[in-house]
Structure 1
Amino acid sequence: MDSLNNQVVHEFRFFRVYKNGRIEKFRSTDKIPPSDDQITGVRSKDVVISSQPAISARIFLPKIHDPTRKLPVLFYVHGGGFCFQSAFSSVFHKQVNAVAANANAIAVSVEYGLFPERPLPACYEDSWAGLQWVASHANRNGPEPWLNEYADFDRVFIGGDSGGGNISHTLAVRVGTLGLPGVKVVGLILVHPFFGGTEDDHMWLYMCPTNGGLEDPRLKPAAEDLSRLGCERVLIFIAQNDHLSAKGRLYYEKLKKSGWVGIVEVVEHEGEAHVFHLKKPECENAVDLLNKFAAFINFTSQRL
């Protein structure tokens, strides 16, 4: 019986599944507490968005130079193949902290449910609940003082990397379809986004028991969804040696042809692999990515 239960029935990029239903993940996730960055002046803290289901976030507040000036808001969705990583992990704490400092923006990094404890579509629903929670502060009477006091809800951005880019796209579609009262989402930032068409598709289908097959619009963005993205500008980052780069380019082309009325641009970093900026944040291209990420927020904000 033990030998049968230890038989592997599915082997994916991030985990394997045994005959007895046990799932073995190939990666673990570290978590660090929020902190005040003495170098950049960025402060961070954790907040509870929902207790049932459990949804939380880490908020980053840049150094306040002018208390009367409201700051743009970045709603960030971390990557990790929908099954690992965290808004509280060291790599994403450092990344979002750096974005908040460089863009002079408040960042809300959402902690959504992961597979297998919470199969898909939990990550999509949790992230949408998080974005709605941010919007609940638009009248300056929400539960989080930093958002009430400093956030400019006419300058909200959604962004994420890899699987988080995939989730970010679905959020922009929901904003365009359902609206987000009190909030204007002006920009969408996708860093090396996952949009199907690779060997990982069957992993996504396995993680999402209620999937719609390989044409599921959450896996493969549909033209009608692209046409109603609820933002004015989109920035897509591509890495030349990333196995997802072709799908990032395809997203760009499909978005331009969809009828969506907005501006989309692509930045490609040559010689780099998937999420290289997280693995070697000090390299020249990672610094360039961070600067262009922040510049997109600042440029778009200044034009409003």
Structure 2
Amino acid sequence: MSYTNTDTNTAESEWNYSESDIAHEFLFFNVLKDGRVHVLLPPVEKVPPSFGSTVGVSIKDVEITSDVSARILLPSSTTAQKLPVVFYIYGSGFCMRAAFSEDYTRFCSNIATEANAIVVSVEYGIFPARPIPACYDDSWAALQWLASHGNGSGPDPWINNHADLRRIFVGGDSAGGNISHTLLAKVGSTGLPGDANIEGMILVNPYFGEDDKMWMYMCPTNEGPTDRRMKPAVEDLGRIGCGRVLVFLAEFDALYCAGKMYTDELIKSGWKGTVEIVVNKGKDHCFHLADYTDLEAIAIRGRIASFINNQG
């Protein structure tokens, strides 16, 4: 299967086509008969690292590989004490949005300040420019990069000087939650370099689903309707590479049942860790990003901060 690498900066006015021009119609994008892919959500605007000066954190961007970058957010209250690290994977439907957008930069900034933690927010490849499994491979490369800073000998001085790599928390929302699970299953199987340790996983409205035709189209190497990245296998659940998991579900989210099933299956899998579940009543998918001042959005960040600092 081949794709046209569409320019994400293409003006919306240039997408002039009719229903008869569509070969495949999915929730987030249309595939045209001429091979072009029209992602329905417009490209997001990205904010520079200087945005941190408005939200009380220091921010810089790093290149991990030619395909992978990350935004590092350091709380302004940094002391000599080493800080936990939140390795965050943004939600994208695997085909839109960006870690460097204002909403994700603000969310990660708030987590950095409220949890007093370093946040490493991963910018990974998305469809159609880079079909799945690029998102999983890029995120794994970024996690390996983070772990390479053991003994203060890694390429980034902020991580060397301030990060406690024995206290890494991997998390994400929507597609980022799905990717987080896949990473933690791999960590449970292969481990991480040096003394790096994943203490917990944080899933916000995670994206799972059996027979997801949109996901399978974006992943030409998929393993069929029950691909273990979308329908987690019991053996993967049983070896999740951390001791604690925090899951947020939104009552009116179309993915609520899939997220609830994930937590049920994780508990039954034989995994020896602990699972905490928070249900946001009357809320829809990833509402916490749309309005960061929402009281329940504030509560989500507070609960994440408590989870990171093991405060119950």
TM-score normalised according to structure 1 size: 0.93
Tell me the SS of whatever aligns to 1:213.
coil
2:160 corresponding residue in structure 1: 148
Q: Does the alignment pair 1:25 with 2:39?
A: yes
1:192 corresponding residue in structure 2: 205
C-alpha separation in 2, matches of 1:108 and 1:282: 23
1:15 corresponding residue in structure 2: 29
- Residues 195 and 247, structure 1, Cα contact 8 Å, conserved in 2: yes
Tell me the SS of whatever aligns to 1:299.
coil
How many residue pairs match? The answer is 295
2:185 corresponding residue in structure 1: 173
Q: Which amino acid aligns with 1:195?
A: F
Q: Which amino acid aligns with 1:22?
A: R
Structure 2, unaligned runs of 5 or more: 1-15
1:47 pairs with 43, 54, 62, which one?
Answer: 62
Q: Which amino acid aligns with 1:161?
A: D
- Residues 5 and 20, structure 1, Cα contact 8 Å, conserved in 2: no
1:205 pairs with 210, 216, 230, which one?
Answer: 216
Q: In the TM superposition, what is the alpha-carbon distance from 1:107 to its structure 2 partner?
A: 0.4
C-alpha separation in 2, matches of 1:9 and 1:83: 18
Structure 1 ranges of 4+ moved more than 4 A: 2-6
Q: Does the alignment pair 1:242 with 2:257?
A: no
- Residues 250 and 282, structure 2, Cα contact 8 Å, conserved in 1: yes
C-alpha separation in 2, matches of 1:247 and 1:280: 24
Q: In the TM superposition, what is the alpha-carbon distance from 1:197 to its structure 2 partner?
A: 3.6
Q: In the TM superposition, what is the alpha-carbon distance from 1:3 to its structure 2 partner?
A: 8.5
C-alpha separation in 1, matches of 2:98 and 2:178: 16
Structure 1, unaligned runs of 5 or more: none
Q: Does the alignment pair 1:231 with 2:242?
A: yes
**Residue deviations 1:180-207, cap 9 Å, x none?**
0221101000000001147xx1100000
Q: Which amino acid aligns with 2:201?
A: L
Tell me the SS of whatever aligns to 1:50.
coil
C-alpha separation in 2, matches of 1:265 and 1:146: 31
1:292 corresponding residue in structure 2: 303
TM-score normalised according to structure 2 size: 0.91
The CA RMSD over aligned residues, in Å, is: 1.8
Q: In the TM superposition, what is the alpha-carbon distance from 1:35 to its structure 2 partner?
A: 2.2
Tell me the SS of whatever aligns to 1:131.
helix
User: Relative to structure 1, is the Cα distance of residues 64 and 92 closer, same or farther in structure 2, using a 3 angstrom cutoff?
Assistant: same
User: Relative to structure 1, is the Cα distance of residues 87 and 65 closer, same or farther in structure 2, using a 3 angstrom cutoff?
Assistant: closer
Q: Which amino acid aligns with 2:231?
A: K
2:288 pairs with 272, 277, 285, which one?
Answer: 277
1:75 corresponding residue in structure 2: 87
Q: In the TM superposition, what is the alpha-carbon distance from 1:36 to its structure 2 partner?
A: 5.8
C-alpha separation in 2, matches of 1:81 and 1:10: 17
User: Relative to structure 1, is the Cα distance of residues 36 and 18 closer, same or farther in structure 2, using a 3 angstrom cutoff?
Assistant: closer
C-alpha separation in 1, matches of 2:152 and 2:264: 39
**Residue deviations 1:64-97, cap 9 Å, x none?**
3422x10000100000101111110111001111
Q: Which amino acid aligns with 1:282?
A: T
User: Relative to structure 1, is the Cα distance of residues 56 and 6 closer, same or farther in structure 2, using a 3 angstrom cutoff?
Assistant: farther
C-alpha separation in 2, matches of 1:16 and 1:39: 38
1:222 pairs with 207, 223, 233, which one?
Answer: 233
Tell me the SS of whatever aligns to 1:76.
strand
**Residue deviations 1:244-275, cap 9 Å, x none?**
00011111110011000000010000000000
- Residues 95 and 278, structure 1, Cα contact 8 Å, conserved in 2: yes
C-alpha separation in 1, matches of 2:25 and 2:102: 28
User: Relative to structure 1, is the Cα distance of residues 133 and 6 closer, same or farther in structure 2, using a 3 angstrom cutoff?
Assistant: farther
Tell me the SS of whatever aligns to 1:92.
helix
1:161 corresponding residue in structure 2: 173
C-alpha separation in 2, matches of 1:36 and 1:119: 30
C-alpha separation in 2, matches of 1:265 and 1:10: 39
C-alpha separation in 1, matches of 2:271 and 2:153: 34
Q: Which amino acid aligns with 1:258?
A: S
Q: Which amino acid aligns with 2:184?
A: A
Q: In the TM superposition, what is the alpha-carbon distance from 1:106 to its structure 2 partner?
A: 0.3
User: Relative to structure 1, is the Cα distance of residues 96 and 65 closer, same or farther in structure 2, using a 3 angstrom cutoff?
Assistant: closer
